[in-house]
Each structure stands twice: as C-alpha cells, then as structure tokens.
C-alpha cells in the first residue's frame, strides 16, 4: 500500500514537470512572437533617397530641357495648379480660380505660403514668372503663348488676359512659379543663385557630380511631408548607361525611363517595375469625306478587324499598350468601361453585311465597287511603316486589299494640313488638357462632322463642375466611338524602376512620378 502511494506521488510529480515545461515553452513561443512583431514595427529606414540623372543642363526649372530633372524639380518648385494621378486639376499655390469671360481668368493665391528662404508668396511672383516665360523660348512656351498680359490686382489676386479663347486654359497653369524678390534687379537667366521654391525640398548644394536636396523647413503642408527622407542625393552622370549601371549595383534607389530596352542594361531581377501610360498616341485617321471612308459601317468594321494586341506584341514587344481612345492615358474623363471596338472578326463581317456589303470571291463588294483602300504613312518612321504592313496583312486576311503609300516628310505634313488622304497612320503627343477639338472639333484632321459632338465641345468649355464634365464626356465618347472617325491603336509606356530596398505606394504618371511620395522609404 505504501509502495502504491509513492508511485502515485511520483506520477503526479512527473505530470507537474510536464505541465510546467509546456507553460514555459508556450510563454517562450509567445515572447518570440512578440519579439518578431516588435522587429517588424521597428524597421529602420534610411534618412535619404538616392537618384540619378544624365545629360544635366541646368537646375533652373524654367530653362531645363532634361525630363529626368523636370520630374525631380516637382519636389522643389510648385505651380498654381497641379494634376493628380487621374489628371484632374487640383489647387496648389492657388486657392481658387474662375473664368470670368472667354479671354479672362482670375486666380487667387495663398499668401501664407512661404518660399524656402522664409519670404511670402505674392501675386507679383506669378506675373514675374509669366513675363520670364514669355521672354525666352522654353518648355513652357506653349503654356503661356495665348497669355496677352498678366496683372497683379492685389497681393493675392492675379488676372490673366488671353489673346484668344483657349479651351481648358487652366490646364496651362502647371508651370513652376519663381520668387521675384529673391532675384530683385538681377538677370534671372544669368543668375548664379540656386533658385528657391515652395515645395517639400530645397536645393542645399550643387557640385560637378551631385545635387543635394534637403527638407524645406518652411513647407506649409506637413501632413504630406515625408517623415523619414530628410535628404535626396542626385548623382550627375554623363550618359544614361551610367545611370542604369548605378541602379543595377544598388547605388541608385529609383529611376524613371521611357526606354523599352531597360532590361538590356539592368536585367530582370533585383527590382520591381511600375508601368504607366505615356502620352505618345498613334492612330488611324479616316478621311470622312472619302467615298468609302464616309461610310460609318466601313469605319466600324475596320475597327473590329485590326488586332492591336498582335501589333504591340510583334512590333513593340509588349512595351507599348493598346489604346481605345485619345484620353485613355489615365484621364478621369475617360472610363475603361466605355464602349470598345475590340478585335472581333465576326463582328466586322456582321457590320459590313448589315451595311450592304457582300462577300464574294474573297472580296467585299457593294453597288459594283470593291472595298479596298490606301494607308499613307511617313516613310521616315520605320516602326509605323511596320505597323502599316501588319494592318495590311490582317485586313487582307479578311478580304480587304490594302495599299501602303510611304510618303516623304513634306507630303506627310501636306496630308495633315490639307486632309487629302484616304487613311493616314499618324500620331500625336497628348496634351495634359482634355480638349478634344483636334480630333472632333471644326476643321479636324479627319473631316469628321457631327453637330451633337460640336454642341458638346462648346458646352464643356464653360463647365467647371467635374461631375457634370464627366457626364458630358461620357456622351461624347459614346457618340464618337460609334461614329469611328479614328481607330486608336496604341500608346507608349513609361517605367518607374524601384530597387527592392525601397517601399511605399507608387502612382507615377506622365505629369509626375512622385505621387504618394510621403509613403516612400528606403530600408
């Protein structure tokens, strides 16, 4: 009996040891989990970001022609109005603006905003900047060409007098504003001073091989200021190849490029890519006065018969993106759900049949005529010539013979000016403005005419409410897609290359690559 009691005591003791060990292990595991969580919370970020540019010309934002530098300068200098990630106008230095007549705009600015040297922004700074821009040829010349004069009505009110009515003129007010008092009587264009701005950062130092930016302590909007990146080091290289090499070995954190060949320089690993749509836009323009192209059913059918995916794959190695409309570079005024004429051979045949065309002996015929046409293309643009050949092959597979006319530069410009072509393969560099008069207004390049469209184009010039504007554009898009005076083909892509040690939200656009910059950090 005594032996049994000892046995039970021993077993109980063993059980207690096991329970104690389990509790210790659970506590240790819990503590380990907490420690791991603490490590995540205590990620250490570097206090700087490293960028690079090639072919440096000048830090002066009104004179530089360097796109890489123009992107970076948006962190230093600010405009009256700026564009967000959907190309919608937002207030920046301006507090409000209004169109008071067909050729007059009034803009109010925020006098509490300070330059990086501590002085206050005022209306004379805006007048000073516009006068500078109009005095020399520069990248913003187009923005100010229709400004006849600028008046500083008081310390915070600017009046723009235009030489002619300019659709969506407010979209031109995105040029950087300069500080008049900082330069005084000094010649702005010859000054050796580092220009000052009102942005997140200011210029701290410039040497032969580096530009250093540091936080602007007078920046007014602390809510969007990056809390960790106190300095930005911009290394100056002679050639773009050197920038790629520096990025590849990890000495540059972020770089922006429009080159589709970037993988040839940096490979495919060690970084990630944020693609965004560019504003180089190619399309087929139909002469709507031509005896064949005036038929809506023909234009519609051709839109369905062209395989755009095949074009961007075979000719542009998928580094370009297919396009459906002139505004599909990301504008808030174009919805991706808008009606589309995607590749659909059977739909193309159906439209031609419904339009009275009959398919016989591998040809489409109607009233004794045959559906065949000529595409004109600029001979100096090798890629467009290849696109024309691909379209020819695709359409001939449907029984539509195509002749390609490769023309000289002068003949090409004559076609654009006189609109005496049948079908023209061409392209434009889209403006930031959503103005579509080039495509659908009076005297457009396609000889297209629709009174409902003209009425809408007149209406939208005076609409400031974004919701009403969206509704008008929705109607405009639906009508013009149905009429099909053009076939949108493709547009270029740009690429923001980001090394794996950089984290944050990235929403680059052609207007600016530093959207959401307050979330960027380098680990």
Do 339 and 472 belong to one domain? Answer: yes
Do 218 and 157 belong to one domain? Answer: yes
Adjacent-strand bridge partners of 402 = 373
* Sign for the pseudo-dihedral over CA of 147, 445, 437, 381: negative
Residue 341 pLDDT? 59
Do 231 and 289 belong to one domain? Answer: no
Q: In b/e form, how buried is each residue of 438-456, taking b as 16+ CB within 10 angstroms?
A: ebbbeebbbbbbbeebeeb
| Distances from the Cα of 461 to the Cα of 142, 168, 468, angstroms | 19, 7, 12
Q: How far apart are CA 458 and CA 478, in angstroms?
A: 17
In a domain, 123, yes or no: yes
Do 238 and 282 belong to one domain? Answer: no
In a domain, 268, yes or no: no
- pLDDT averaged over every residue in the chain: 91
Q: How far apart are CA 246 and CA 243, in angstroms?
A: 5
Strand 231-237 relative to strand 210-215, pairing: antiparallel
Q: For residue 79, count CB atoms less than 10 angstroms from its CB and return exposed for 0-12, middle for 13-18, buried for 19 or more.
A: buried
Do 190 and 309 belong to one domain? Answer: no
Do 192 and 305 belong to one domain? Answer: no
DSSP state of 119: P
DSSP calls for 262-291: HHHHH-SSSEEEEEEEEEEEEEEEE-TTST
285, 485 Cβ separation under 8 angstroms: yes
Domain of residue 292, residue span: 277-493
Residue that the structure tokens 């434009």 belong to: 428
Q: How far apart are CA 89 and CA 273, in angstroms?
A: 27
pLDDT digits (tens, 9 = 90+) for 498-515: 999 999 999 999 999 999
In a domain, 401, yes or no: yes
Assigned token pair, 507: 């929403």
Do 199 and 292 belong to one domain? Answer: no
What is the CATH number for 75? 3.40.190.10
In a domain, 22, yes or no: no
* Main-chain phi, psi angles of 336, to 5 degrees: -65, -20
In a domain, 500, yes or no: no
Assigned token pair, 359: 């398919």
What is the CATH number for 316? 3.10.105.10
Q: How many residues make up the chain in this entry? A: 523
In a domain, 66, yes or no: yes
* Long-range CB contacts (within 8 A, 24+) of 437-444: 437/167, 439/326, 439/480, 439/485, 439/486, 440/476, 440/480, 440/485, 444/485
Domain boundary among 200, 219, 244: 244
DSSP calls for 297-343: HHHHHHHHH--HHHHHHHTTTTSEEE-SSTTTTT-TTS-TTS-----
Number of separate domains in the chain: 2
Do 67 and 189 belong to one domain? Answer: yes
Vertex 78 angle, CA 77 and 83, to 5°: 130
In a domain, 135, yes or no: yes
Residue 1 pLDDT? 41
Q: How far apart are CA 138 and CA 285, in angstroms?
A: 31
Helix axes 296-305, 382-396, angle to 10 degrees: 100
Residue that the structure tokens 């740009």 belong to: 494
Do 185 and 300 belong to one domain? Answer: no
Do 367 and 295 belong to one domain? Answer: yes
Residue 347 pLDDT? 96
Adjacent-strand bridge partners of 82 = 90
Do 218 and 343 belong to one domain? Answer: no
Neighbouring residues of 26: CB distance < 8 A, sequence distance ≥ 6: none
In a domain, 17, yes or no: no
Do 218 and 307 belong to one domain? Answer: no
3-state SS class at 144: helix
Q: How many CB atoms lie within 10 A of CB 255?
A: 24
> Which residue stretches of the chain have pLDDT < 70?
1-42, 222-226, 336-341
Locate all alpha helices (DSSP H) within 397-465, ordered by sequence.
Answer: 409-418, 437-440, 451-460
């Amino acid at each position: 009996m005594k032996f049994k009691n000892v046995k039970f005591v021993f077993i109980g003791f063993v059980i207690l040891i096991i329970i104690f060990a389990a509790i210790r292990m659970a506590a240790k595991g819990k503590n380990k989990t907490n420690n791991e969580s603490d490590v995540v919370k205590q990620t250490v970020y570097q206090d700087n970001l490293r960028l690079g540019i090639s072919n440096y010309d000048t830090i002066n934002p009104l004179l530089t022609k360097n796109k890489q530098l123009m992107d970076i300068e948006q962190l230093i200098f600010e405009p009256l109005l700026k564009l967000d990630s959907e190309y919608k106008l937002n207030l920046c230095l301006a507090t409000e603006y209004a169109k008071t007549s067909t050729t007059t705009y009034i803009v109010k600015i925020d006098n509490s905003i300070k330059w990086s040297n501590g002085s206050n922004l005022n209306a004379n700074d805006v007048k000073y900047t516009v006068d500078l821009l109009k005095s020399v040829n520069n990248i913003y010349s187009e923005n100010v060409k229709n400004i006849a004069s600028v008046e500083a009505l008081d310390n915070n009110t600017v009046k723009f007098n235009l030489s002619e009515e300019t659709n969506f003129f407010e979209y031109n007010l995105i040029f950087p504003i300069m500080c008049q008092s900082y330069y005084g009587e000094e010649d702005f264009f010859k000054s050796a001073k580092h220009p000052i701005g009102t942005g997140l950062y200011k210029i701290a130092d410039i040497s032969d091989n580096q530009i250093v930016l540091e936080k602007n302590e007078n920046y007014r909007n602390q809510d969007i200021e990056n809390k960790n990146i106190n300095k930005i080091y911009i290394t100056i290289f002679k050639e773009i190849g050197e920038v790629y090499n520096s990025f590849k070995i990890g000495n540059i954190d972020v770089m922006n490029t429009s080159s589709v060949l970037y993988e040839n320089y940096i490979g495919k690993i060690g970084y990630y890519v944020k693609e965004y749509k560019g504003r180089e836009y190619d399309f087929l323009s139909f002469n709507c006065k031509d005896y064949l192209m005036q038929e809506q059913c023909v234009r519609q059918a051709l839109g369905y018969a062209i395989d755009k995916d095949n074009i961007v794959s075979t000719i542009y190695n998928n580094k370009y993106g297919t396009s459906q409309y002139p505004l599909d570079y990301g504008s808030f005024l174009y919805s991706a759900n808008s009606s589309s004429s995607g590749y659909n051979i059977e739909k193309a045949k159906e439209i031609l049949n419904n339009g009275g065309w009959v398919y016989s002996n591998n040809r489409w015929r109607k009233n004794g005529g045959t559906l065949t046409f000529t595409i004109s293309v600029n001979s100096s643009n090798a890629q467009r010539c290849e696109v024309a050949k691909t379209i020819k092959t695709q359409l001939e597979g449907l029984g539509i013979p195509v002749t390609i006319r490769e023309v000289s530069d002068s003949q090409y410009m004559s076609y654009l000016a006189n609109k005496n072509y049948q079908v023209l393969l061409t392209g434009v560099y889209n403006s930031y403005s959503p103005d579509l008069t080039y495509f659908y207004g009076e005297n457009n390049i396609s000889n297209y005419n629709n009174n409902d469209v003209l009425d809408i184009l007149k209406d939208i010039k005076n609409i400031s409410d974004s919701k009403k504007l969206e509704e008008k554009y929705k109607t405009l898009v639906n009508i013009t897609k149905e009429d099909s005076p053009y076939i949108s083909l493709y547009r270029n892509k740009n690429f923001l290359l980001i090394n794996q040690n950089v984290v944050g939200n990235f929403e680059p656009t052609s207007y600016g690559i530093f959207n959401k910059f307050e979330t960027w950090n380098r680990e």
